[in-house]
Amino acid sequence: MATVSLSKGGNVSLTKTDPTMKKVLVGLGWDARSTDGQDFDLDASAFLLGENSKVRSPEDFVFYNNMRAAGGAIEHTGDNRTGAGDGDDESLKVNLDTLPADIAKIVFVVTIHDATARSQNFGQVSGAFIRLVNEESGKEIIRFDLSEDASTETAMLFAELYRHGSEWKFKAVAQGYKGGLSSVCAEYGVSAN
């Protein structure tokens, strides 16, 4: 299966494109800065949302300081603060089968840490991408080129996984977000701190 290239707002039915997918990996990668200046510190995060599109509790916000939620159904593999290393520099792993029933939707977000203070955006970062992969088969379902196609953004709502009856569906959102991670948190009912 070829990678679907993502257009904003596009819907992908996982049941059609990859019906066997049980484990989802969202990978974020970028190149370490070669020029002088502050490092580019990109962060991948996820929000586990109920039917009301809010988190059930602050623990449903999975990020570099809360790396495991929903009894281990979702895990963050660790914070990379520079982009050093090949491939995915940060990833989130979700086991669709063990997610609690009251989680209706997962939203994946990528942000640049301290972007405003550092005057940074995705376009200044080389080789920045976010992708969604079937963790068991290694198949890449979708990939978004942050450096090229979100160049002036500092935060982006990448994608949503949501229940549709007994299936999971996938929606490519690719929506830029002003105000960084804290404004995304406010949107989904995670209070500051």
Partner 1 sequence: MELISGQNTGLSGSELVIDMNYQHGVNFAGEVDTSAFLLTNQDKVRSDSDFIFYNQPESINGAVVYSKTPTGGRYVVSTAKVEPTVDKIALTMVVDGSSTVGHLASLSLKVDGQASFNVPLDNRSEKALIVGLIYRHNGAWKFKALGMGFNGGLAALAINYGVDVDDEPAPAPTPILEASKPTAGVSLEKKLQEQAPHLINLAKPVSISLAKHKLEHVKAKVAFVLDASGSMTQQFKQGNVQAVLERITVLATQFDDDGQMEVWGFGERHKKYPDVSLSNIKGYISGIQNSGKRGLFELLPTLGGVNNEPPVMADVIKHFKNSDEPVFVVFITDGGITKTRAIKDAIRESANYPIFWKFVGLGGHKYGILEELDDFTDRLLDNTDFFPIDNFKTVPDNVLYDKLLTEFSGWLAEVKRKSIIR
- Which spans of this chain sit near partner 1 (rule: CB under 8 A)? 34-37, 119-126, 148, 151-152
Q: Can you read off the two tokens belonging to residue 69? A: 């939620």
Q: Can you read off the two tokens belonging to residue 53? A: 């599109």
Nearer to partner 1, 10 or 50 (CB): 10
CB of 121 to partner 1, least distance (A): 4
Nearer to partner 1, 31 or 160 (CB): 31
CB of 10 to partner 1, least distance (A): 18
Instruction: Determine contact, residues 156/2, Cβ cutoff 8 Å.
Output: no
CB of 33 to partner 1, least distance (A): 8
Nearer to partner 1, 37 or 100 (CB): 37
Give pairs for 53-56: CB < 8 Å, separation 24+: 53/105, 53/188, 54/188, 54/189, 55/188, 55/189, 55/190, 56/102, 56/103
Helix (H, G, I), strand (E, B) or coil at 185: helix
CB of 36 to partner 1, least distance (A): 5
Nearer to partner 1, 51 or 148 (CB): 148
Q: Can you read off the two tokens belonging to residue 110? A: 């990528």
